[in-house]
Structure 1
Amino acid sequence: MHADAGSSDATPLSGPGVRAVRTMVYPLAAACPTLLQGADGMVVALCTTIAGRTPTVELIDPEATGVTGTASATLPLVKGGLLGGVYAYLDNADRLVVVDGQRRLLRIAHARDAAGRWSLRVDSSVDLSGVVPAGDSVVGLVPDPSGGVWFVTEHAVAGRVDPSGHAATISLGAGEMVENSISATPGGRIAVATTHALYELRSVSGRPEVLWRKAYDRGPGRKPGQLSWGTGSTPVYFGPRTGADYVAIVDNAAGAAHLLVFRSGTGQSVCSQPVLTRGGPGSENAPIGLGRTVVVASTYGYPYPTLPQGAGPAVPPNAPFTGGMTRVDLDASGCRTVWDNAVRSSAVPMLSAPDGLIYTVNRVGPAATTPADGFEFTAIDADTGATAAHSPLPGTIAEDPLQTAPLITRDRRVLQGTLSGIVRIG
């Protein structure tokens, strides 16, 4: 979902740029937060149906023509936690790696028969019910460079499945929850953010081990526009030397929000920088991280149509969605703010490194959101924070991107998941 195993939300692929764009809609009657493109060019989407909230794998041909498109193949999965399934990735064989509601680690392959028909099938399955407690569910998973699969559960059990299928786990802080995905470095370290602290882990003789833990200010409660009480960040690895010199999240401090940056491997604090000072002081999204730059987008007051079970009341109960983004750069003295803008990002922003543009969807309408609000595909100049281009998108609330991440494809298009399907832009 966040572009790579380090969750950088940055890609080496070019997007549409500032040219005029056309759109095509895939009306799937499902919210599609995870869009992944494999080596064969096909897009594998992990969606959650509107009716029943069933996690469903959809195979999409991004080259389809016309005004609307359909899925080439569909495979429903057993329902689990976190809105029925969100985080997954593609392995080196273009198989979707995901954990279903029966606590099975699945690899789902796709193939085309002699008649040209596509199909999806479960290629392998590992039973995790012996290490994931009943009543718990896997939230996020990520590969490591040795072929293992790391996962973390909602109740903060972190585990690793080795290539032979053997799993080992470790429990993180008592009473802590995990509501976002996890991230990995090329060297095999893993970052996990719970509702209380940021952890970095490693594997020692096949077993997970905590390298360090850093508590953060989680504030007095869940902020409006967030899905849980704590950081909304999937941790992001970034840095100019290895691409994983640093790891960052955004805290949940009352009346403010701070970008927290630590040195990967040691946990040494680099900075606590106030962000989103022109917009709403809270973020449910992973920051962008590339080189020495981090960009944070506000979700404060965002009108999610539903909340996870046990999310609890918001503090304050509600707020307008004013938006806002902040760019922070690291330098010899720590961190400094480069720019703030007032873009009302309704998607996880994605940075195209060759374009120098941040792509997102801007919500159009009053700060007190309404079902009549519109959406614009928006390109932001990463150097200045200014809007470089924007184009209206079709529909209104049915095309709400729900703060999910876009996919920039190899043919310079953008696929954006929405409340009701996928919009292709380009």
Structure 2
Amino acid sequence: MSRSPARRRGVPRRPLAAALLSALALTTAAVPAEAQSVAAAATAYTPVPPHNPYAGPDGTATMHGDTGSSDTTLLAGPGTGTLSSERLALASACPTVLVGSDGYPVILCTPIFGQVPTVHLLDPDDGSSLATLKLTKGSLLGGVYAYLDNKDRLVVADGSRNLLRVAHSKNADGDWKLAIDQSLSLASVIPEGDAVTGLSPDWQGRVWFATGNGVVGTADDRTGTVRALTLPAGERVANSISTAPQGTAVTTTHATYLLTAGADGTPKISWRQAYDRGQARKPGLLSWGSGSTPTFFGPTTGTDYVGIVDNADTTVRLKVYRTSTGAEVCSVPVLRAAGGPGSENSPVGAGSSVFVAGTYGYPYPAVPDGAGDSVPASADFAGGLTRVDVRADGTGCTEVWDNTLRSAAVPKLSTADGTLHTVVRDPLIPGTKGTSLLDPYRYVQIDPETGTVKRSKQVGIGSLFDTLQMAGTIAPDGTYLQGTVTGVLRITAG
């Protein structure tokens, strides 16, 4: 089957995108007002973290878009025309949806029956599964946070404590196949019973990883070198990690760290900032502590700051730190309009702006071992979406807007179309906050300037369409791919 030139090229690198944005800015007088508005919105949310040379295309190489976990993309989502949606039924929860430079989606799913992590290669034209590969089963969150490297290989840690690179190719018969291209054991530093939660490459080509029990390390599968340190006792890592030229950010159930590595790859702590973790795990969160994968963002380098959301009891706060020193820039209350003090989602960060989506009360079907009971035992799904900007002089932060939208996924900000893309979960009974097995789900495009919904499309009704606070991805052709508890949604416009 032939592929379009755009698919063969894959995702543009940042210099090209920057040049296109500059060209748009210089020619605004010759384009319609709507196009000028899109161009202005796009330039308002830059820069984003720099391209990591050891990762795949920016915007589609990691669950959170890039190794800085900005949850941004250089690609425009479904454009003008009638929105349509289809569900790819895989009988699996599919939290990791990535797209390589060749345009082929690579997804990591956990089947409902057996729960053995399975890699799927999808056809970019219709979303059908071209090939599958089963991995060794691990913990609930083990293997969720995979990424694509600069050769479009899926980098993932399996349940046997092996670091794998999974490649896709065609065999002699012209059929696609998935196979393990490289494998490196991490068992020398990860005790039996522990498992990798998050991993990400650094700018030297090493793979950083963090385990549920607080082991943080580097692995170089070019040399076989594995080095690690263990964070203080009792600190767990329940979300992924993020990398930038300055170092690796890890948020545990107690604190946020920036780590660097010595010449031999041994990690060392550059700074540590504790946060308010509250009295217990909350309903709608998967651990007792921050639900954030730390987000690199900033107006100068794209990685000037690191942002997380804490787990304070009454009102949660966005915490922003200087990447260079760990000094706190601000601690701002968020999600007040919705009244739900909690977020399991990574903040979206671009330029000086941060967007926080609330998950308090979201009905997860299961939580990881050791997560503890929630207090209260349950709650209505509050939702909420807040935008906060760091002040131009870096002396603090200001809330820009705060609303009650109930995002059921991690929003993704397109710097190409100046839009936040996500799926919301509407209540079965309008005006209420309860959830049911018959709730409707809508794909929405949100104006980041105001927080209002510009466009929406119902994608389904009922639990088969539950997006379970998983991150969506925009493919090179503008298709929005969103994991659900039973497969993947493909949302297009035409």
Which one-letter code corresponds to 1:58 in the other structure? Answer: H
Residue of structure 1 equivalent to 2:52: none
When Rg is computed on C-alpha atoms for both structures, the one with the higher figure is 2
What does residue 388 of structure 1 align with? Answer: 454
The answer to whether 1:358 aligns with 2:414 is no
Aligned to 1:47: 109
Structure 2 partner of 1:284: 344
CA distance in 1, matches of 2:464, 2:225: 43
Residue of structure 2 equivalent to 1:200: 258
Please report the TM-score for the alignment, with normalisation by the length of structure 1: 0.97
Which residue among 244, 250, 253 is the counterpart of 1:185?
A: 244
Tell me, yes or no, if the aligned pair for 2:142 and 2:195 is still in contact at 8 Å.
no
Distance 2:308 2:230 in 1: 21
Matched, 1:139 2:197: yes
Q: 2:306 aligns with which of 247, 250, 257?
A: 247
User: Are residues 1:237 and 2:296 paired?
Assistant: yes
- How far apart are residue 254 of structure 1 and its match? 0.6
Q: Which runs of 5+ in 1 are unaligned?
A: none
CA contact (8 A) 2:141 2:197 kept: no
Deviations along 1:142-161, one digit per CA (max 9) or x if unpaired, are 00111110000000000001
Deviation at 1:394, TM superposition (A): 2.5
2:182 paired residue number: 124
Match of 2:23 in 1: none
Q: Greater CA deviation, 292-301 or 106-115? A: 106-115
- For 2:373 and 2:267, locate their aligned partners in 1 and report how far apart those are by CA, in whole Å: 34
1:233-312 to 2 correspondences below 5 Å: 233-279=292-338, 280-312=340-372
| Counterpart secondary structure, 2:144 | coil
Whole-angstrom CA distance in 2 between matches of 1:31 and 1:60: 15
Q: Distance in 1 between matches of 2:384 and 2:124?
A: 31
SS at 1:213 equivalent: strand
Whole-angstrom distance in 2 between the partners of 1:17 and 1:389: 10
Q: In 1, are the aligned partners of 2:142 and 2:197 still within 8 Å (CA)? A: no
> In the TM superposition, what is the alpha-carbon distance from 1:23 to its structure 2 partner?
1.4
Per the alignment, residue 483 of structure 2 pairs with: 417
What TM-score, normalized to structure 2?
A: 0.84
Count of aligned pairs: 421
Given that 2:244 and 2:296 are in contact with CA atoms closer than 8 Å, whether structure 1 keeps it comes out as yes
Residues 136 and 153 in structure 1, CA contact (< 8 A), matched pair in contact too: yes
Are 2:53 and 1:3 equivalent residues in the alignment? no
- Structure 2 runs not aligned, ≥5 long: 1-62
Q: Once superposed, which parts of structure 1, at least 4 consecutive aligned residues long, lie more than 4 Å away?
A: none
Per the TM alignment, residue 19 of structure 1 is displaced from its structure 2 partner at its CA by 4.3
Corresponding residue of 2:119: 57
Describe the shift of the 1:374–1:257 C-alpha distance in structure 2 as closer, same or farther (beyond 3 A): same
2:470 matches 1:404: yes
**Match for residue 145 of structure 2?**
87
1:281 Cα deviation after fit: 1.3
Work out whether 1:322 is the aligned partner of 2:382: yes
- The secondary structure found in structure 1 opposite 2:464 is helix
Q: Is the 8 A contact 2:142 2:157 kept in 1?
A: no
Mapped contact 2:439–2:461 kept (Cα < 8 A): no
Structure 1 partner of 2:217: 159
Amino acid at match of 1:195: T
Report which of the two has the higher share of helix. 2
Root-mean-square deviation over aligned CA pairs:
1.1
Question: In the TM superposition, what is the alpha-carbon distance from 1:84 to its structure 2 partner?
Answer: 5.0
Cα separation, 1, equivalents of 2:140 and 2:350? 28
Matches within 5 A, 1:105-120: 105-120=163-178
Q: What is residue 434 of structure 2 aligned with on the other side? A: 368
Cα distance in 1 for residues equivalent to 2:239 and 2:79: 30
Equivalents in 2 of 1:128, 1:424: separation in Å?
A: 36
Give the secondary-structure state (helix, strand or coil) at the position aligned to 1:405. Answer: strand
User: Residues 177 and 84 (structure 1 numbering): CA distance in 2 closer, same or farther, change over 3 Å?
Assistant: closer
8 Å CA contact 2:438–2:461 kept in 1: the answer is: no
Quote the offset at 1:113 in angstroms. Answer: 2.5
- Mapped to 2, the partners of 1:354 and 1:125 lie a distance apart of 37
8 A contact 1:356–1:383 mirrored in 2: no
The answer (yes or no) to whether the contact 2:67–2:201 under 8 Å persists in 1 is yes
Q: 1:165 and 1:240 mapped to 2: Cα distance?
A: 37
Instruction: Encode CA deviations 1:328-349: one digit per residue, 9 max, x unaligned.
Output: 0010331000001111000000
Matched residue of 1:261: which SS?
strand
Identity %: 53
